[in-house]
Amino acid sequence: MYVKDFLWTQDKTVKQLVDELGSVGFQSVELAKASDVIVKMKKNSAKIFLTFTSNMVTSGLRGFFAQLIELKIADVIVTTVGGLEEDIMKSFGEKFSIGRFSADDVELHEKGINRVGNLMINNESYMNFEDKILPILDKIYKKKKRWAVSEMLREIGLMLDDKHSILYQAAKNNVPIFCPAITDGAFGFHLYMYQQKHKDFIIDVVADFGNILFTTSHDDKKGVIALGGSISKHHAILCTLLNGGANYAIYITTAHKTSGSMSGATTEEAKSWGKVKDESDVATVNGDVTIMFPLAMIRALDILKEEGLLKEDKSNA
């Protein structure tokens, strides 16, 4: 393969764009490769683990993740608690505004505004979340006293009515959501406070470790789409490690491999642990997920649609 000059043409599709970027060089090549790996995962009926961090749900990717669940792209979701809180917030109409990375943070704090990059969340959104989550916890508690995290999240999803919600689509399509650090956020605080009044209310994180292990097996083909890093990425690839390693993996991250962090660890590094098989198809893309992932995924969806391998999208019906 040779480097090819990239040229503008009117009405270029996303598929054409990513195809042509695959011959430009640098991260463009990895982007096109990542899209190819996604297609291979689906064509070869791999069990696909989709992982993402909460800041991606703060952004407008939240509805895209929900759509991918509806389209049967993701079989297992692993994420952090902030994204679940914000998914619930948005399901009840909360809106986050776009500001500036260079905003005056002291002024924002005085105004009761919390900054996530250039996205802003009002304190009132968390107060409204408390008003919504407590009646939900009451219903869950009345149904039974002990829940694995993923079981509780499915129950919450069944109570929502928003097609753009990750929890709603996961519950509707029987896709489990795992959140091993469920206490690391506002939701965790409310679970703790609820337990102070109801000592027999137990959210069992350890039971969910068994549940994620049994979502797949050594015999299954396994694929990982890890967006960002942290515990969500590691929890999925630990599951693949204990089940013989992933056959396919793409990582998209802004972290660098020289950090020695989970966020910066590449698909190649994962092979040293057995989290990814030696002969696996892999790609590591260094870049912003809000740009790179839609490009790679939309191209993959277009290809799968053309080949009749995509569930009919009724999300806009």
The amino acid occupying position 111 is K
What percent of the chain is modeled with pLDDT above 90? 95
**Is residue 315 pLDDT above 50, yes or no?**
no
What residues does each domain of the chain span? 1-46+243-311
Q: Which residue has the tokens 């991260």?
A: 27
How many CA atoms lie less than 13 Å away from 196 in the CB half-sphere? Answer: 5
The two structure tokens encoding residue 222 = 């396994």
pLDDT band at residue 259 using 50, 70 and 90 as cut-offs: confident
Of 284, 286, 251, 300, nearest to 15 by C-alpha is 300
**Is residue 31 pLDDT above 50, yes or no?**
yes
**Is residue 62 pLDDT above 60, yes or no?**
yes
Question: Tens of pLDDT along 63-72?
Answer: 999 999 999 9
State mean pLDDT over 302-307: 96
Q: Where are the beta strands (DSSP E) in the chain?
A: 47-52, 76-79, 97-98, 113-116, 119-122, 146-148, 177-178, 202-204, 222-227, 246-253, 276-286
**Is residue 308 pLDDT above 70, yes or no?**
yes
Active site residues: 275
CA end-to-end span of the chain:
42
**Is residue 317 pLDDT above 80, yes or no?**
no
41 with 61: CB under 8 angstroms? Answer: no
What percent of the chain is modeled with pLDDT above 70? 98
Of 137, 144, 146, 158, nearest to 205 by C-alpha is 146
**Is residue 40 pLDDT above 60, yes or no?**
yes
The amino acid occupying position 31 is L
Average pLDDT, the chain: 96
Q: What are phi and psi of 255, to 5 degrees?
A: -75, 155
Q: What are phi and psi of 93, to 5 degrees?
A: 95, 0
pLDDT band at residue 312 using 50, 70 and 90 as cut-offs: low
State mean pLDDT over 47-54: 98
The two structure tokens encoding residue 197 = 């009044």
Question: Tens of pLDDT along 164-212?
Answer: 999 999 999 999 999 999 999 999 999 999 999 999 999 999 999 999 9
**Is residue 28 pLDDT above 90, yes or no?**
yes
What local confidence, expressed as pLDDT, does residue 314 receive? 53
**Is residue 73 pLDDT above 90, yes or no?**
yes
**DSSP letters spanning 198-251:** -TT-EEEHHHHHHHHHTTS-SSS-EEEEEES-HHHHHHHHHHHHHTT-EEEEEE
**Interior CA angle at 28 toward 303 and 51, to 5°?**
65
What local confidence, expressed as pLDDT, does residue 172 receive? 98
Q: Could you give the CA distance from residue 283 to residue 29 in angstroms, rounded to a whole number?
A: 10
Question: Tens of pLDDT along 77-131?
Answer: 999 999 999 999 999 999 999 999 999 999 999 999 999 999 999 999 999 999 9
**Is residue 10 pLDDT above 50, yes or no?**
yes
Q: How many helices (H) and strands (E) does the chain have?
A: 14, 11
